[in-house]
Chain A
Amino acid sequence: DAKTTQPTSMDCAEGRAANLPCNHSTISGNEYVYWYRQIHSQGPQYIIHGLKNNETNEMASLIITEDRKSSTLILPHATLRDTAVYYCIVREGSNFGNEKLTFGTGTRLTIIP
C-alpha cells in the first residue's frame, strides 16, 4: 500500500508556482521521498527526491518538513506542459533489492492558461 496521501486534483495558473503537498506521516528514518510525474500515458518521469534536507534541481524544489511527515513539491513557473499526474512516493533506501516504487493515485495537476 502507498504510504502517502495527496490531493486528488489541483489547478494552477500558467506562470505561477505550483505547490503540490504530500503527507507521509508514517515515514521512517531511512525512507526517502520521491516525486515522479506521468504526462498522459507516457512513462513516469523522475522529478526529484530527498531524505530530510530541502532539494532543488532544474525541474523543481522539494521542501520536507523538519519532522519529515509531509513535503511539498514546487514547480516554480508552471507551464502548460506541466499538466500531469504527480506521484509522491516514499521508498526505503536500500541496496538489497527493495528498490521498488509503490505508486498511489497521485495528484492530477492542471495548468490553466
Chain B
Amino acid sequence: DSGVTQTPKHLITATGQRVTLRCSPRSGDLSVYWYQQSLDQGLQFLIQYYNGEERAKGNILERFSAQQFPDLHSELNLSSLELGDSALYFCASSGDRGFDNEQFFGPGTRLTVL
C-alpha cells in the first residue's frame, strides 16, 4: 500500500460526458502527479501540482483539467469524453521538492468510455 488513494476504482460513461477523478496523496506530500496509461500510448505524464499550484504540464488535452485543493487532494476533470480517453489514470505523490524524491503511485482509476 503506497498511501496514495484514488476514487473511483472503475468508471464507465458515455462519449461526450464529463467525469472527475479524485486523488488523495500520502500524508504530508505536497506534490501530486497525474498519469494516463492507455494500451497504445503506455504510461504518460499529464500534469503536476505542488501545494496547490500547477508546476509542470505534459501531454494533457485541453478537454482535461486538474486542480489541487488546500487539503492537498487533487481532482482530474475529463470533459467531452471520447472513446480514446478510455484508459487507466494514475495519481502519484512525492514529498518536499527535494532533488531526487521518488513518486508513490495510487491504484488507479479505470475509465471506460462507451
Contact = CB atoms under 8 A, between A and B. Distances in A.
Contacts of B42: 103-105
A44 interface: yes
Q: What's the dominant secondary structure at chain B's contact region?
A: strand
Indicate the size class of the contact surface on chain B. 20 to 34
B90 A44 contact: yes
Contacts of A105: 42
Interface string B71-107: 0000000000000000010101010011111111111
B18 interface: no
B21 interface: no
Interface in A68-113: 87, 93-105
Contacts of A95: 97-99
A45 B45 contact: no
Interface residues of A, number: 25
A41 B107 CA distance: 8
Contacts of A96: 97
A92 B55 CA distance: 15
A101 B103 contact: yes
Nearest to B104: A46
A29 interface: no
B44 interface: yes
B4 interface: yes
5 nearest interchain CB pairs? A43-B105, A97-B55, A103-B43, A95-B97, A100-B45
Interface of B: 2, 4, 31, 33, 35, 42-45, 48, 50, 55-56, 58, 88, 90, 92, 94, 97-108, 110
Given A43-B4, A97-B50, A99-B56, 10 more contacts: A46-B103, A46-B105, A51-B100, A93-B99, A94-B99, A95-B97, A95-B98, A97-B97, A101-B33, A101-B45
